[in-house]
């Protein structure tokens, strides 16, 4: 699909338990077996989690999701961000990231953290493009023994033109 989305095409909306089957479908297409959330984990994050679970929707259907955790700390963490492969490269994650940054700034956070598989070059490139910097590495972090790269972005309120 050769097009970029406008911000008005993308909606960020809360998830409910009714979305879990479709979320598991996206999860299966995006992540290796040991790295996927299962039904119970999705249910818990949506209904009991202390973080922010949102669907990323285009044309009234959701094509991705993210979960921001550790919102009771000074620096929240993006636990997961995924866009269905059929809709990657259109800017959906880009708009989700703008939403996440606005949410963090509005709630008084000054940085965001995340972990990403060292072999997930696409995601690392995406995060670097959005201003995240590598600051550490965790050996043997994922189920298959893959290392994690720890990344962080310091947030600044946009300057207003006078």
Ligand X SMILES: CC(C)(COP(=O)(O)OP(=O)(O)OC[C@H]1O[C@@H](n2cnc3c(N)ncnc32)[C@H](O)[C@@H]1OP(=O)(O)O)[C@@H](O)C(=O)NCCC(=O)NCCS
Least distance from ligand X to the Cβ atom of residue 114, Å: 6
Least distance from ligand X to the Cβ atom of residue 47, Å: 23
Least distance from ligand X to the Cβ atom of residue 50, Å: 20
Name the residue nearer to ligand X (CB basis): 6 or 162: 6
Tell me which residues touch ligand X (CB under 6 A): 4-5, 30, 81-83, 88-94, 116, 120, 122-123, 125-126, 129
Q: Token digits for 150? A: 């720890």
Name the residue nearer to ligand X (CB basis): 2 or 162: 2
Least distance from ligand X to the Cβ atom of residue 115, Å: 7
Q: Token digits for 100? A: 């996440």
CA dihedral sign of residues 71, 30, 33, 143: negative
Element (H, E) at 45: helix 39-47
Least distance from ligand X to the Cβ atom of residue 16, Å: 21
Name the residue nearer to ligand X (CB basis): 3 or 160: 3
Residue nearest to ligand X (CB): 91
Element (H, E) at 64: strand 61-69
Q: Are the CB atoms for 66 and 81 separated by under 8 Å?
A: yes
d(CA 71, CA 81): 16
Beta bridge partners of 56: 12, 64
Name the residue nearer to ligand X (CB basis): 82 or 162: 82
Name the residue nearer to ligand X (CB basis): 119 or 162: 119
Q: Are the CB atoms for 152 and 70 separated by under 8 Å?
A: no
Q: Token digits for 32? A: 């290796």
């Amino acid at each position: 699909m050769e097009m970029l989305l406008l911000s008005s095409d993308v909606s960020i909306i809360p998830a409910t338990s009714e979305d879990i089957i479709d979320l598991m479908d996206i999860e299966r297409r995006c992540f290796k077996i040991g790295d996927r959330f299962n039904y119970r984990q999705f249910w818990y994050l949506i209904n009991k989690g202390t973080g922010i679970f949102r669907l990323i929707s285009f044309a009234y259907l959701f094509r991705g999701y993210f979960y921001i955790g550790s919102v009771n700390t000074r620096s929240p963490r993006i636990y997961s961000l995924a866009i269905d492969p059929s809709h990657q490269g259109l800017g959906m994650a880009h708009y989700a990231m703008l939403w996440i940054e606005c949410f963090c700034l509005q709630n008084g956070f000054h940085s965001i953290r995340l972990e990403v598989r060292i072999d997930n070059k696409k995601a690392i490139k995406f995060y670097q493009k959005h201003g995240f910097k590598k600051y550490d590495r965790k050996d043997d972090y994922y189920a298959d023994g893959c290392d994690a790269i720890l990344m962080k972005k310091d947030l600044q309120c946009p300057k207003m033109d006078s």
